[in-house]
Amino acid sequence: MIRIGIIGRIGSGKSYVSKRLGFPVFDADLEVNKIYKKNKKCFIKLKKIFPNCISSFPIKKTEIAKAILKKKNNIKKINEIVHPEVRSKMKKFLIKNKNEKIVTMDIPLLIENDLNKKNDILIFVEAEKKKIYKRLKKRPNFNIKILKRLEKLQLPLNKKKKKAKYIIKNNFKSIKIKKDVRILKSKILKYERSNSRY
């Protein structure tokens, strides 16, 4: 199995690229949302640590945001509870898709949490910071302070970029990015065929 890891700045279009590639995708952000909605064990742990913020189940995003904003270190405490659950979901995804030739890992902290392997194909999605922020500001409940705290958890972008096998530039114009993803996909499939044992 070839594993593709999608990396880049928050809001750069990693999820879009992941989906356009057309391989089975493990979407960590989606799994986190499911955990907040369905995982009562996580709710109990979070409520115990943040009794003044987390009060109801399913957990509301506004309550998580409140906990993050209350204290700088809180985001790490949340991650210590949520990330093991995400890691477990990732393992199940890989087992479920073990017969697939290629899978895509859309995980914001893929490198930072040592979830990538040496032979993974890393794709860095590059986009202008101004364009990213302009788009993020349109999202409901967008908060610049939360964004800054999430960004601090990540490796510097230049280090991530150096680790990538491929770089794809996203100018948020659908025709160009679709074309670039198609070209990239053909390169990956060519790489897969050349490295196949069969």
The residues, ordered by sequence, that sit 6+ positions from 54 with a Cβ below 8 Å of its Cβ are 43, 46, 47, 63, 64, 67
- Positive or negative, the CA dihedral 92, 98, 99, 103 is positive
CA distance 141 to 60: 12
Percent of the chain with pLDDT over 90: 72
pLDDT score of 82: 95
pLDDT score of 196: 60
Residue 44 one-letter amino acid: I
Reported confidence tier of residue 172, pLDDT bands at 50, 70, 90: confident
Q: What is the pLDDT of residues 126-154, one digit of tens each?
A: 999 999 988 898 888 888 889 888 988 89
* Topology adopted by domain 1-24+102-193: Rossmann fold (3.40.50)
CA distance 166 to 170: 13
Q: What is the pLDDT of residues 116-131, one digit of tens each?
A: 888 899 999 999 999 9
Reported confidence tier of residue 198, pLDDT bands at 50, 70, 90: very low
CA distance 149 to 116: 23
Residues forming beta bridges with residue 167, ordered by sequence position: 124
Residue range 31-59: average pLDDT? 94
DSSP, res 58: S
DSSP, res 60: P
Work out the mean pLDDT of the chain and round it to a whole number: 91
0.85 exceeded by pTM = yes
Residue 35 has pLDDT above 90, yes or no: yes
The residues, ordered by sequence, that sit 6+ positions from 190 with a Cβ below 8 Å of its Cβ are none
